[in-house]
Amino acid sequence: MPSHAGTPLIEARGLTRVYHRPRTSLTKPGHDVLALREVSLTVHRGERYGIVGESGSGKSTLLRLLCGLDRATSGSILFDGREITGLPERRLRFLRENLQIVFQDPMSSLDPRMRVRDLVAEPLVALGLPVGGRVAELLEAVGLSAEAAERYPHQFSGGQRQRIAIARALAPRPQVLVADEPVSALDVSVRGQILNLLADLVDELGLTLVFVSHDLSVVRHVCETVAVMSAGEIVENGPVDDVWAAPAHPYTRALLEAVPTLEGLF
């Protein structure tokens, strides 16, 4: 496995993000919400890194920071050795080329008025990269037919739409794929198709995967390493099999116990 042998690709140190709530009273200032406190993590090249947590745990905030979509209140993020915190958008091109995201709900992340061809080509156009025959190549890689290019998102099922979102993310040949709950909105019968596809693509293209989920059992199937988040902090991290077999933090234990499973029920 290439995981820990690889060099650090994403290094976050002491990330803190405070959101200021608007005031609700004329006399008192609005209060602050500490969404992320002193979070540090390292993702190695070629690693499959899972982030698990419930709503409000700060996993989405962390993800937004790692993707350069939000600014940390304090702390630093090195991507491939280069600082990304505090950089203006025009200087984030290297990040946009090398890190792409697949969102949870392919219904709202794909523009309903754009044809699949344009959706998949858009990241290339935005970065000024040549499109050429890349769209057909990408559609084939995610298991869609070439005719799909001429159609609109609403003409596809949820699983197929997630394939389109993956093709779009892979367009600029990124090194890192960030998947935010990519199968939570899908039916179980197609969940396996999408997870298999992601695993294949990560292998074939030598990608680094950051996979966010509320479901530790899905993370265990996909990732080697996991960070468990609660109340804005990473409460436990390490090899997923160790965390699964012997959770050290009470919150991880509660999370594991709460997940309903079919195994061992009968």
Partner 1 sequence: MLKVDGLTVRADSVELVHDVSFAIGPGERVGLIGESGSGKSLTALSLMGLLPEGVAASGMARLGDRDLVGVPESRIKELRGRKMSMVFQEPMTALNPLMRVGAQVAEVMTLHGKPRHEARARAVELLERVRLPEPAQIARAYPHQLSGGQRQRVMLAIALANEPGLLICDEPTTALDVTVQKQMLELIAEVAPALLFITHDLAVVASVCERVLVMYGGRVVESGPIREVFTRPRHRYTEGLLAASKLTPRGTRLPAISGSVPPAGRFPGGCVFRNRCPQATPACETAPELTGDAHAFACWHPAD
Based on the shown chain and the rule CB under 8 A, indicate whether residue 223 belongs to the binding site for partner 1: yes
**Shortest Å, Cβ 75 to partner 1:** 26
Residue 28 contacts by C-beta under 8 Å, 6 or more apart in sequence? none
- d(C-alpha 250, C-alpha 266), whole Å: 27
- Which residue among 87, 158, 172, 249 contacts partner 1 (CB under 8 A)? 158
- The angle subtended at Cα 208 by Cα 206 and Cα 214, nearest 5°, is 135
- Of 124 and 139, the one with the shorter C-beta distance to partner 1 is 139
Per CB under 8 A, contacts with partner 1 among 45-74 are 54-55
Applying CB under 8 A, among 192, 206, 238, 250 the residue interacting with partner 1 is 192
Quote the tokens at residue 191: 């969940």
Q: Which of 47, 180, 181, 224 binds partner 1 (CB under 8 A)?
A: 224
Q: How far is the CB of 117 from partner 1 (least distance, A)?
A: 21
Give the Cα separation of 49 and 82 in Å (integer): 20
225 within 8 A of 3, measured Cβ to Cβ: yes
By DSSP bridging, strand 176-180 and strand 99-102 are parallel
For 100-110, b/e burial (b = at least 16 CB within 10 A) is bbbbbbbeebb
Q: How far is the CB of 88 from partner 1 (least distance, A)?
A: 36
Distance in angstroms (rounded) separating the CA atoms of residues 157 and 38: 40
* Residue choice 196, 205, 238, 242 for contact with partner 1 (CB under 8 A): 196
Can you tell me which of 140, 150, 187, 242 binds partner 1, judged by CB under 8 A? 187
* Closest CB 194 distance from partner 1, rounded Å: 8
Binding site for partner 1 (CB under 8 A): 54-55, 157-160, 187-193, 195-196, 199, 214-215, 217-218, 220-224, 240, 254-255, 257-263, 265-266
